Amino acid sequence: MNRAIFLDRDGVLIEDVHLLTNPKDIRILAGVPAALGRLSAAGFGIIVVSNQTVVARGLSTKQEVLDLNAEVHVQIERAGGPCLGAFYFCPHHPNATLPLYRVDCECRKPRPGLLLRAAREHDLDLHASFAVGDRVTDIIAGARAGCRTVLVQTGEHLAPPIETSEPLDDSVEPDYTCADLFQAAQWILEQA
C-alpha cells in the first residue's frame, strides 16, 4: 500500500478568498510548490480533499469546480510543483440552497468520506498518511480516517467552525500545528 498527504485546497494550497468561483482569484500560497515537491520526492501521493459549498449554494456547478481544481493544478506545476495525484470534493451542505445538495453525506468534512474513498481508489495506507488543513474540520476528518494531522495557520484556522450536521468533537487536536505547508512538510518528513 502507498502513503499520501491529504490536503485541503482553500487556505492550504491557495489563498482562501471565500467561495472561490473565478479562476482569476486563484493565488498559490508561498512555499506550496516547494513543499509539495519535497513530499512527492519522498514518495507521498498528493491528494486534495475539499468541501465545496459553492455547488450547494448554486454559485458554481460541479464542472466549474473541476475546472477550478484543474487550474490550481496547472498553476502549481507552473510554479515548479509536482503533479497532484487527485482532487476529491464534497458538493453538499446541510442547509444547501439547492435541494439536490441538501444531503447528510459522508463526504463533507469533518466526516472522513473523501479520504476513505481516495484510500480505496489509490490503495493508500491511511495510518502511514497525513492530513493537512486550516480548519478543525480538516483535522477531525483526518483523525477519523486514521491519519496523523497537521493544522496550518495560512487560512481560516481562527474562523468559527463550518456548519456541520453533527456536533464537532472538541477532543480532537492536531498532531502538529505550524505556520504553513512548507513547515508542515518539514515535520511530516521528519516523522516519516
| Domains located in the chain, CATH noted | 4-191 (3.40.50.1000)
Encode pLDDT of 64-93 as tens digits: 999 999 999 999 999 999 999 999 999 999
* pTM, full prediction: 0.96
Q: Which of 185, 192, 95, 177 is nearest to 136 (CA)?
A: 177
Q: How far apart are CA 154 and CA 36, in angstroms?
A: 16
Mean pLDDT, residues 36-58 taken together = 97
Q: Which residues lie across from 150 on neighbouring strands?
A: 132, 176
3 state DSSP class of 123: coil
Active site residue 169: no
pLDDT value of position 84: 95
Residue 154 in this model has a pLDDT that exceeds 80:
yes
pLDDT for 94 beyond 90? yes
In what side-by-side order are the strands of the sheet with 176-178?
A: 86-90, 45-51, 4-7, 130-133, 148-152, 176-178
Q: 10, 134, 138, 180: which one is catalytic?
A: 10
Enter the C-alpha cell of residue 150: 497537521
170 in active site: no
Phi, psi of 183 (to 5 degrees): -65, -35
Residue of 8, 16, 138, 180 marked catalytic: 8
Name the β-bridge partners of 178: 152
- Which backbone phi and psi does 168 adopt, to 5 degrees? -80, 145
Q: Which band of pLDDT confidence, cut at 50, 70 and 90, is reported for residue 163?
A: confident
Residue 1: predicted pLDDT: 67
Question: Is the distance from CB of 24 to CB of 66 less than 8 angstroms?
Answer: no
